[in-house]
Amino acid sequence: MTDWLTPEEWRAVALSLRVATVAVAASLPLGIAIAFLLARREFWGKQVLNGIVHLPLILPPVVTGYLLLLTFGRKGYLGQFLDEWFGIVFAFRWTGAALAAAVMGFPLMVRTIRLAIEAVDPKLEQAAGTLGASRPWVFFTVTLPLILPGVLAGAILSFAKAMGEFGATITFVSNIPGQTQTLPTAIYSFLQVPGGEAQAGRLVLVALAVAMAALLLSEWTGRRVARRISGA
């Protein structure tokens, strides 16, 4: 298997897995929090927040990448501050690819988790509250176990989206082999070179395998958790 892909191709696959994993892990807590706010709370600006969350699904990925570059680039509004005070740099780094992937997959994650929260009967949460449980305790002991299949499904969907992210990534962090070249950008690069179709084809097969594995894992995990919750 290791001889099937060249070292350059393996680096692209490994970087894609690293970027997608970090993107999901970093965005999941915020995704759960925002999904809960949108599902259970009424506040001024709720529709504005909902629109901002889903904006990456509407905007062309290149536009999202350009906005990230303006915001988190070395001379960007936040990028310059993070670089000068904390030494954190996103532009043209693999961390920037993770940020772009997290932003693009965030709407799918939030939407899936929000639907799971809305499917939970609020009376169950209210009953726990009347017994003296605090709101955080109610969330972690009642709500979270019930929405766990939705959380896992949202995380896996976000992971699959991150693995396939192209437009925002190449705009924000470019396509530097070994540093920011992920699976989609590597496929694009090979297709620009005469005779690179074989290398691109192998990476396409890897992408298909990862996507199918993510979907199957999502289905299997969701059913297993649902059976465990129901006590079956």
Question: Is the pLDDT score of 35 beyond 70?
Answer: yes
pLDDT at 231 over 70: no
Enter the DSSP assignment of 141.
I
pTM: 0.89
Q: Which residue has the tokens 């990534």?
A: 169
The reported pLDDT for the residue numbered 148 is 87
At 127 the pLDDT is 85
Structure confidence at residue 228 (pLDDT): 61
Query: How would residue 232 be classed by pLDDT, with cut points 50, 70 and 90?
Result: very low
Q: Tell me the percentage of the chain whose pLDDT exceeds 70.
A: 94
- pLDDT over threshold 90, residue 211: no
Q: What is the pLDDT of residues 219-229, one digit of tens each?
A: 787 677 667 66
pLDDT for 25 beyond 90? yes
Which residue has tokens 């709407």? Answer: 107
Per-residue H/E/C for 185-214:
HHHHHHHCCCCCHHHHHHHHHHHHHHHHHH
Averaged pLDDT, 75-99: 89
Q: Band of the pLDDT at 177, cuts 50, 70, 90?
A: confident
Rounded to whole angstroms, the Cα distance separating 57 from 228 reads 33
What is the model's pLDDT at position 183?
92
Which residue ranges make up each domain of the chain?
A: 7-230
Q: What is the mean pLDDT of the chain?
A: 88
Structural class in CATH, domain 7-230: mainly alpha
